[in-house]
Structure 1
Amino acid sequence: MAFGSVAHYEVMYYDPPYFLILAAFASCLAFGSAFSGVLGQFFQSRERDPQPLIAPYLGIVASAILLVGAGLQVFGIFGVTGYIVAVFFVGLLAGIVWYNLLREYT
């Protein structure tokens, strides 16, 4: 293979997953809207069962992990490393928020 071939160009210049960033952002907005509606019902009910909050919250967390992991690839953290960092930070923040939500309102 010659130095200026197409295969060398593809390896040398990596395109970040811009579509994945947009899809994850749209998914975050959709799950956030669902979580907002369920959270409003949660605060209006007397028993305050956190079970209906789990699915939209996990959707937000999964979308945020994809968004941060793909966003890190824009800045040059390629491959699985960006997603490992995203799982760590988003998972840590999501755990803290979920703990405080349950501690404060149940």
Structure 2
Amino acid sequence: MYPDPPYVLMIAGFLSAIAAGSAFNTSLQQATQAWAKNPEAGSLEDIRGLSLQLPYVGICLGVWVTLAAGIQIFGFSAPPSFAISAVLTVLMAWLVWRQLGVILGQLQRGGSKALDLDGF
């Protein structure tokens, strides 16, 4: 009666998000290390350019596909599951990107001691 759930699609989305996350990690580390060597070159918040945006979009697309496939496992059809996961992914992506800007701003103003979570 119902088609098989898209387990392969869920695994493919997850693996693509992991691969894009690895690229994002590398790009972010390189950008922050370059800024640490020459802080006068620009603002740390300005490093969120295309070199970070492209892998971040890859992460978001992988998460979107994984969420949609996960929702389909519970019996929803493809269009509603992709719509629901799109809303969730866009909201989550915006919040994480905004928080990245806040953290980079704190790092620029106070150095690594500004991010000390043990002080709380």
TM-score higher than 0.5: yes
Instruction: Quote the residue 1:82 is aligned against.
Output: 81
Unaligned runs of 5+ in 1: 1-11
Q: Whole-Å Cα distance in 2 between the matches of residues 41 and 21 of structure 1? A: 30
Structure index of larger Rg: 1
Instruction: Quote the residue 1:37 is aligned against.
Output: 26
* Coordinate RMSD, CA, aligned: 1.2
Unaligned runs of 5+ in 2: 36-41, 106-120
Instruction: Quote the residue 2:114 is aligned against.
Output: none
Percent identity, aligned pairs only, is 35
Q: Deviations over 1:38-76 (max 9, x none)?
A: 111122122332111100000000110000001110011
Q: Whole-Å Cα distance in 2 between the matches of residues 13 and 33 of structure 1? A: 36
Q: Whole-Å Cα distance in 1 between the matches of residues 76 and 33 of structure 2? A: 44
Count of residue correspondences: 95
Instruction: Quote the residue 1:50 is aligned against.
Output: 48
Does 2:26 correspond to 1:20? no
Superposition map of 1:85-100 within 5 A: 85-100=84-99
Structure richer in helix, relative to its length = 2
- Between stretches 92-101 and 46-55, larger displacement belongs to 46-55
TM-score, length-scaled by structure 1: 0.83
Q: Are the equivalent residues in 1 in contact too, given 2:27–2:52 (CA < 8 A)?
A: yes
Shift of 1:103: 2.9
Shift of 1:90: 1.1
TM-score, length-scaled by structure 2: 0.74
